């Protein structure tokens, strides 16, 4: 049974359930059945499933708990508190690419757009055919978990009342253009269309982990150590026996794990945490993938119906029409003025005039299902480092997506389109000029990519020579050490990943719970017999 949801689920927490590492004045030494590292999509889901199964669970989370009542809507303040490196993290390689990750209770689910997509069947088939994951990870295994998540987290289509013009126009235009687009399905319990998902929902409507599975797990007896960074997993021989962490106040937090340690620190942090813990798999850090995204803006005439990005679900409409053929997915996105301003071309008077017409600016975007693979490394001082360079075919897909968005904008009546591609004029004024985008340079440094969907680097597979975790999510050769986030995904998906991450994590946690319960039963029988 889950605890009923509430707008204020993060306010009514059991006494002693939260240990705040910013306020901690002493070292801690404690023991639980399972220690979960990370409280984002993967960690919170696993912690909730494990507590529901009757296990005692500790969650170790590096970031603070940003409660709904404290959410700040200005980007600078919000990013400084809840984004990793205040949102300044980048992927390296031939071009720097900004990479956003939440670093707070709820992880990236606090700052994301709540779009829920089940893993496409062709991806699961590919995982079976090329990576040997079936039948352990199959549609049949995952479906009950998707069903449960959708019930728990209120997955539904964006309500027409809060769709907003940026989203509505996209759906209309796609249909005129001859392909299908639709309002998104999201984790939503009463979205008010404030367009503020990126800085955290001020209404408690977005069903991110900090207002759902984390408080629900605490209500079932779990404990969370916030602002505590897991330094490494403690191994005894080939068995994981606990986690060593340091609180933001500088104290050591040692948590012993009677049964297992579950790593859910996200695609970049999990592989490096395994490395710091002494895991030495050949595949560790390799095969990193992403869905680099790019957004394009357009200015509509002031005589037309205002777009008003400040109203409507932050991301409310999408099309997967080109996912398999062209390897991109189209989406809308409403940017807050602080971020939209940075993408508006021009300086001085020209810029001021465009800013004055912000109500008539629309932004549509594409997520590229890039084939490129990168490497997650540990850099100077233990910092996370990722080398990732988009290939020619990926850039061709990006260019095609941008040209399509440009054409759709003009057909919808835009006066100006802003491609944001180096080598192409910053302002296009007619549909004929879109051919300049079609011929844009195939050079990664020319595009304004941003990475928010991350995969791989601790791949799942039956063979320890080519993968890091086995088909039960356990690190090859290390008993009791599990990885349940998208670092275990053998490939990217072509759709937004949170839902698939949670379904995989829930599947892993329920299998682990069964193992723990039978171990418990065996120990009890032995005790009674002796």
Ligand X SMILES: Cc1cc2nc3c(=O)[nH]c(=O)nc-3n(C[C@H](O)[C@H](O)[C@H](O)COP(=O)(O)OP(=O)(O)OC[C@H]3O[C@@H](n4cnc5c(N)ncnc54)[C@H](O)[C@@H]3O)c2cc1C
Query: Which spans of this chain sit near ligand X (rule: CB under 6 A)?
Result: 37-43, 60-63, 100-104, 107-109, 111-115, 198, 229-230, 264-266, 269, 273, 315, 452-453, 485-486, 496-499, 501
CB of residue 470 to ligand SF4, shortest distance in Å: 37
Q: Is 192 in the site for ligand SF4 (CB under 6 A)?
A: yes
Helices 498-529 and 41-52 cross at an angle (nearest 10°) of: 30
CA–CA dist 412, 72 (Å, integer)? 34
What is each CA distance from 280 to 211, 273, 490, in whole angstroms?
Answer: 36, 11, 18
**What DSSP character marks residue 498?**
H
Question: Which one of residues 41, 100, 201, 209 is an interface residue with ligand SF4 (CB under 6 A)?
Answer: 201
Residue 192 or residue 256: which is nearer to ligand SF4 going by CB? 192
Segment near ligand SF4 (CB under 6 A); pick from 61-69, 115-123, 124-132, 201-209: 201-209
Site membership for ligand SF4, residue 191 (CB under 6 A): yes
A 10 A CB-CB count for 281 gives 22
Nearest to 242, CA basis, from 393, 37, 71: 37
Stretch that binds ligand SF4, among 31-39, 193-201, 227-235, 374-382 (CB under 6 A): 193-201
CB of 298 closer than 8 Å to CB of 308: no
Nearer to ligand X by Cβ, of 103 and 407: the residue is 103
Minimum CB distance to ligand SF4 smaller for 101 or for 112: 112
Categorise residue 283: left if φ over 0, alpha if ψ from -120 to 50, beta otherwise. Answer: alpha
Residues 50-79 binding ligand SF4 (CB under 6 A) are: none
Of 186, 44, 198, the closest CA to residue 117 belongs to 186
- Is 197 one of the binding residues for ligand SF4 (CB under 6 A)? yes
The residue count for the chain:
530
Neighbours of 180 (CB within 10 A): 10
What is the nearest approach in angstroms of ligand SF4 to the Cβ of residue 116?
12
> Where do we find the tokens 């508006």?
344
Among 37, 196, 363, 516, binds ligand SF4 (CB under 6 A): 196
**If binding is defined by CB under 6 A, does position 193 make contact with ligand SF4?**
yes
Is the CB of 40 or the CB of 208 nearer to ligand SF4?
208
Interaction between residue 185 and ligand SF4 (CB under 6 A): no
Among ligand SF4, ligand X, none, partner that 367 touches (CB below 5 to 8 angstroms by kind)? none
Q: Which is nearer to ligand SF4, 203 or 357 (CB)?
A: 203
To the nearest whole angstrom, how small is the minimum distance from the Cβ of residue 194 to ligand SF4? 3
Separation in Å, CA 511 to CA 134, 149, 250, 445, 473:
16, 17, 35, 44, 9
CA–CA gap between residue 452 and residue 307 (Å, rounded): 25
Q: Is the dihedral of CA 427, 432, 438, 440 positive or negative?
A: negative
Contacted by 490, from ligand X, ligand SF4, none: CB < 5 to 8 Å by type: none
Q: Which is nearer to ligand X, 207 or 424 (CB)?
A: 207
Question: Can you give the binding site for ligand SF4, defined by CB under 6 A?
Answer: 114, 191-197, 201, 203, 205-206, 313-314
């Amino acid at each position: 049974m889950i605890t009923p949801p509430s707008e204020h689920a993060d306010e009514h927490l059991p006494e002693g359930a939260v240990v705040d590492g910013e306020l901690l004045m002493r070292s801690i030494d404690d023991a639980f059945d399972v220690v979960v590292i990370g409280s984002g999509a993967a960690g919170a889901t696993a912690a909730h499933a494990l507590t529901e199964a009757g296990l005692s669970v500790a969650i170790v989370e590096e970031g603070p708990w940003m409660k709904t009542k404290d959410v700040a809507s200005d980007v600078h303040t919000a990013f400084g508190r809840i984004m990793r490196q205040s949102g300044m993290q980048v992927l390296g390689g031939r071009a720097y690419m900004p990479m956003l990750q939440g670093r707070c209770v709820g992880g990236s689910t606090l700052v994301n757009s709540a779009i829920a997509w089940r893993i496409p069947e062709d991806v699961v088939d590919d995982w079976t055919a090329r990576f040997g994951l079936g039948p352990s990870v199959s549609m049949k295994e995952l479906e009950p978990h998707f069903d449960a998540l959708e019930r728990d987290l209120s997955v539904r289509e964006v309500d027409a009342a809060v769709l907003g013009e940026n989203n509505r126009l996209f759906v209309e235009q796609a249909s005129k253009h001859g392909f299908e687009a639709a309002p998104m399905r999201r984790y939503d319990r009463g979205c008010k269309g404030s367009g503020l998902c990126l800085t955290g929902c001020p209404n408690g409507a977005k069903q991110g982990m900090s207002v759902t599975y984390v408080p629900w797990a605490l209500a079932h007896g779990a404990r969370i150590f916030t602002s505590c960074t897991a330094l490494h997993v403690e191994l005894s021989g080939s068995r994981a026996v606990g986690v060593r962490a340091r609180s933001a106040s500088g104290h050591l937090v040692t948590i012993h794990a009677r049964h297992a340690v579950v790593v859910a620190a996200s695609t970049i942090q999990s592989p490096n945490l395994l490395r710091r813990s002494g895991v030495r798999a050949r595949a560790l850090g390799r095969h990193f993938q992403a869905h680099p995204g790019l957004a394009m803006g357009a200015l509509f005439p002031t005589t037309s119906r205002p777009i008003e990005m400040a109203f409507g679900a932050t991301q409310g409409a999408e099309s997967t029409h080109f996912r398999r053929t062209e390897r991109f997915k189209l989406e809308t996105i409403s940017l807050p003025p602080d971020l939209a301003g940075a993408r508006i071309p021009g300086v001085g008077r020209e810029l001021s005039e465009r800013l004055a017409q912000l109500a008539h600016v629309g932004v549509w975007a594409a997520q590229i299902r890039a084939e490129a693979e990168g490497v997650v490394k540990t850099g100077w001082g233990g910092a996370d480092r990722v080398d990732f360079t988009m290939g020619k075919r990926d850039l061709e897909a990006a260019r095609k997506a941008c040209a399509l968005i440009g054409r759709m904008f003009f057909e919808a009546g835009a006066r100006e389109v802003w491609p944001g591609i180096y080598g192409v004029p910053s302002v296009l004024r007619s549909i004929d000029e879109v051919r300049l985008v079609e011929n844009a340079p195939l050079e990664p440094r020319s595009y304004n990519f941003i990475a928010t969907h991350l995969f791989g680097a601790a791949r799942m597979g039956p063979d320890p020579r080519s993968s890091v975790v086995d088909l039960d999510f356990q690190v090859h050769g290390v008993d009791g050490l599990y990885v349940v986030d998208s670092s275990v995904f053998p490939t990217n998906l072509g759709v937004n990943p949170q839902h698939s991450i949670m379904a995989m994590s829930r599947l892993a946690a329920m299998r682990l719970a069964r193992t723990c319960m039978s171990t418990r039963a065996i120990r009890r029988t032995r005790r009674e017999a002796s």
